[in-house]
Structure 1
Amino acid sequence: MSIFLSLDKQSLEKFNQSARPTGIAMIVIGIIGIVFPSVISLTLSFFISSLFFRLYVKYSG
């Protein structure tokens, strides 16, 4: 916190302007990191289950 006290008002204003887009970008990257692995795993699970379902339908009679 002492680093903010040693900065003048102009430097602090510049830091605040650059910190906001960086924070938003980090939030977006975090959401993508959470959502896409889930989507990929669901797609893979659906694909594998559809293969087993096709085999079941083919050989069940």
Structure 2
Amino acid sequence: MSRGGGVGTNGSTLRPRNALARGVNGKSSGSVSWLDDIAKLTHLVEQGGSRRGKQVGVPRL
């Protein structure tokens, strides 16, 4: 990202929303929530103090 590029993330390997997470007695929040969190974190990255980082999240439909 420091040279003006971005990052792409494949979200299709993440559990779907409400899928059981064995061993922790819980349910998954889903790939969309994870991709949203990654996008928010990426937005915090500044490129040369003027441009924000960019992230593309691609979930399987």
Which TM-score applies when normalising by structure 1? Answer: 0.31
The structure where helix makes up a greater share of residues is 1
Give the greater-gyration-radius structure (CA): 1
- Give 1 or 2: higher strand fraction: 2
> Under a length normalisation based on structure 2, what TM-score does the superposition of the two structures give?
0.31
Structure of greater relative contact order (alpha carbons < 8 Å, 6+ residues apart): 2
